[in-house]
């Protein structure tokens, strides 16, 4: 399918406007240090939002990713402290994410629970189970060999951002070139039509949740290596950040359409607001309000264009 850039444009224009404004008003925003911090702190959101894009394209939602991230982060911290080498540890962590994602996927596609309810249940369940098991305690004192994958800070940072961007590029390419991912778009567009076209709709939905779980697992790993502790409340509000980025990136919440570049734009735009305020000397309490306004603007744009399309198609 051809990329239809019209839906990504509002986000891209907003991002460009913000950066041009910053270049004039607060050029220090573009200092290497700040850009590096910006990239690092948004890697988790980007990875989760990549999965979320597909979840929303397939016309579902996953609000459990924050809790899932927390559980996997703790697993990751414990495994690191147990001295598991980095490669098996990565596989373990990503696998754990995939398994938790599979539980969501199973509930949605095979049990037929509405995804907002199913993932609300797992969201609460994982978060509370974690609180119960850890008693809110952090996993502290991660071994030095685990931090930055033992590569040192600079190489570690490059590895983190680089692997996230590589994965992003791969998924973007796949979303346009892999037959299985076209089935994702078809299912989200019209699941009954896709079913009648011989697409195994339930499997498609299931695997999208698994992929999201795995990406969330990876996000937890790339996040954990940056610190010496894993806080018990990690991943708080991650689901909201990811969903917001996807929506601002032009993916309609009703599914069937949407693109990964849009999501990258959404992550960059929403993630830049906080630092931008700091550099502009504005009270950072405005961050959430501005992010909210951006989401609202996206929704309005969507409603207006949907209205236009409906006017063309009604019979």
Partner 1 sequence: MVKNAPALEAKGIEKSFGGVRALRGVSLELAAGEVHALVGENGAGKSTLIKIFTGAVTPDRGEIRLRGELLEHNSPAKARSLGFAAIYQQPALFPDLTVVENIALGKETGKLWSKVDWRARRAHASELLDRIGARVRPEALAGELSMPEQQLVEIAKALDTNASVLILDEPTASLGDRDTENLFRIILELRAKGVAIVYISHRFEELGRVADRVTVLRDGQSIETRAMAGTTKEDLIRLMVGRELETVFPPGENGFGDIALEVRGLKCRSLRVEDVTLTVRRGEIVGMAGLAGSGRTQFAEALFGLAQLDAGEVLVNGKAVEIRSAADAVRLGIAYVPEDRRRHGVILRMPVAANTTLASLGSISKGGFLQFAEEQKAAAGYILRLGVKTPSTDTLAGNLSGGNQQKVALARWLMTQPKILILDEPTQGIDVGAKMEIYRLIRQLAANGLAILMISSETEEILGMSDRVAVMAKGRIAGILDRANATPYDILELALGHQVAAQ
Interface residues toward partner 1, by CB under 8 A: 1-2, 176-180, 182-183, 185-186, 189-190, 192-200, 256-257, 312-315
Q: Which is nearer to partner 1, 87 or 179 (CB)?
A: 179
Q: Which is nearer to partner 1, 131 or 257 (CB)?
A: 257
CB of residue 186 to partner 1, shortest distance in Å: 6
Burial of 36 from C-beta contacts in 10 A (0-12 / 13-18 / 19+): middle
- Region of 61 on the Ramachandran plot (φ > 0 left; ψ -120 to 50 alpha; else beta): beta
Q: How far apart are CA 169 and CA 173, in angstroms?
A: 6
Whether 216 contacts 44, CB under 8 Å = no
Q: Which is nearer to partner 1, 134 or 202 (CB)?
A: 202
Within 13 Å and on the Cβ side, how many CA atoms surround 130? Answer: 27
The structure tokens listed for 57 are 């394209």
- Read off φ and ψ for residue 267, nearest 5 degrees: -60, -45
Note the Cα 22 to chain centre separation in Å.
25
CB of residue 201 to partner 1, shortest distance in Å: 10
Residue 116, CA distances (Å) to 65, 108, 258 in order:
12, 9, 19
Q: Which is nearer to partner 1, 198 or 281 (CB)?
A: 198
CB of residue 120 to partner 1, shortest distance in Å: 23
CB of residue 195 to partner 1, shortest distance in Å: 7
Q: How far apart are CA 284 and CA 278, in angstroms?
A: 6
Q: Which is nearer to partner 1, 283 or 314 (CB)?
A: 314
Q: Which is nearer to partner 1, 134 or 189 (CB)?
A: 189
Q: Which residue, among 13, 3, 6, has the nearest Cα to 268 in the 3D structure?
A: 13
Total Cβ atoms within 10 A of residue 304: 10
- Read off φ and ψ for residue 232, nearest 5 degrees: -70, -20
Q: Which is nearer to partner 1, 180 or 300 (CB)?
A: 180
Tell me which residue has tokens 């509405």: 114
Q: Which is nearer to partner 1, 6 or 33 (CB)?
A: 6
CB of residue 260 to partner 1, shortest distance in Å: 16
CB of residue 151 to partner 1, shortest distance in Å: 33
CB of residue 182 to partner 1, shortest distance in Å: 6
The structure tokens listed for 250 are 């032009």
CB of residue 101 to partner 1, shortest distance in Å: 21
């Amino acid at each position: 399918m051809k990329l239809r850039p019209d839906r990504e444009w509002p986000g891209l224009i907003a991002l460009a406007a913000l950066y041009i404004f910053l270049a004039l008003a607060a050029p220090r925003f573009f200092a290497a240090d700040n850009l590096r911090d910006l990239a690092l702190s948004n890697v988790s959101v980007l990875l989760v939002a990549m999965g979320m894009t597909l979840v929303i394209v397939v016309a579902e939602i996953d609000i459990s990713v924050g809790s899932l991230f927390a559980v996997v982060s703790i697993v990751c911290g414990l495994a690191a402290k147990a001295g598991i080498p980095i490669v098996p540890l990565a596989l373990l962590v990503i696998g754990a994410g995939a398994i938790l994602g599979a539980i969501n996927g199973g509930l949605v596609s095979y049990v037929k629970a509405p995804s907002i309810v199913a993932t609300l249940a797992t969201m609460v369940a994982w978060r509370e189970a974690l609180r119960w098991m850890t008693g809110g305690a952090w996993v502290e004192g991660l071994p030095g060999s685990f931090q930055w994958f033992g590569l040192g800070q600079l190489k570690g940072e490059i590895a983190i951002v680089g692997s996230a961007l590589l994965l992003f590029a791969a998924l973007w390419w796949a979303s346009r070139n892999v037959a299985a991912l076209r089935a994702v778009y078809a299912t989200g567009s019209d699941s009954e039509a896709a079913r009648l076209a011989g697409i195994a709709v339930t499997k498609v939905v299931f695997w999208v949740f698994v992929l999201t779980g795995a990406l969330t697992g990876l996000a937890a790993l790339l996040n954990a290596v940056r610190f010496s502790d894993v806080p018990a409340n990690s991943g708080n509000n991650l689901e909201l950040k990811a969903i917001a980025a996807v929506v601002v990136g032009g993916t309609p919440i009703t599914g069937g359409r949407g693109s990964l570049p849009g999501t990258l734009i959404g992550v960059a735009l929403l993630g830049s607001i906080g630092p931008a305020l700091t550099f502009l000397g504005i009270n950072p309490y405005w961050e959430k309000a501005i992010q909210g306004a951006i989401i609202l603007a996206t929704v309005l744009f969507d409603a207006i264009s949907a209205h236009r399309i409906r006017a063309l198609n009604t019979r």
